[in-house]
Amino acid sequence: MKKLVFALVLFMSVFFAHAQVSINVNIGTPPSWGPEGNDDSRYYYLPDIDTYYDITQRQYIYDNNGKWIRDKRLPSQYRNYDLYGGYKVVLNDYNGNTPYTYHKKHRENYPKGYHGKPQKNRGNKPEKNKSDHKHGNENQKNSKGNSGKDHKHDDHH
């Protein structure tokens, strides 16, 4: 009888340990520019630039002349796009590997300029590097007042 109880306890502990692991599977850490909440979603659709973002792979997915590209960076024409300011559609209804299967539907439902409910980003937008501004001012000071001298390099070393 003790062996049966021991086996049952062992089986139950393995079962619950397995259940705990499967419950805590993390889809991925959303980026700081992602909207708060929806931690179990895998994709965002960015209507302004007609691009998907795969949270688990940390990749952008976009159409390049009929071929879907996955890349860690946005396409060159969108490198200056403000991910913090742009609207992100959280795709809760798809978990496969090809969200663009429904691209036509996404473009129709979420056209460029689309804004649904207000969103709050997970993190704050990083500030521009202030040291760049500081160095820019120093360079301006040095180039302004050289009492009319030409700015050619002297070779008196």
In Å, how far are 102, 124, 132 from 94, measured between CA atoms?
9, 27, 42
pLDDT tens for 44-73 read 999 999 999 999 999 999 999 999 999 999
Alpha carbons 147 and 110: distance in angstroms, whole number: 59
Does the pLDDT of residue 24 top 50, yes or no? no
Cβ-proximal residues to 18 (8 Å cutoff; 6+ apart), any chain: none
pLDDT at 95: 86
| pLDDT band at residue 6 under the 50/70/90 scheme | low
Return the closest-CA partner of residue 58 out of 78, 80, 37, 32: 32
Cα dihedral 84→85→89→95 (10° resolution):
-20
Look up residue 29 and give its DSSP letter.
Answer: -
Does the pLDDT of residue 16 top 80, yes or no? no
- N residues, the chain: 157
pLDDT tens for 75-129 read 999 999 999 999 999 999 898 999 999 999 999 999 999 999 999 999 999 987 6
Alpha carbons 106 and 149: distance in angstroms, whole number: 61
pLDDT at 38: 78
CB 78, CB 61: distance < 8 Å: no
Return the closest-CA partner of residue 43 out of 63, 28, 26: 28
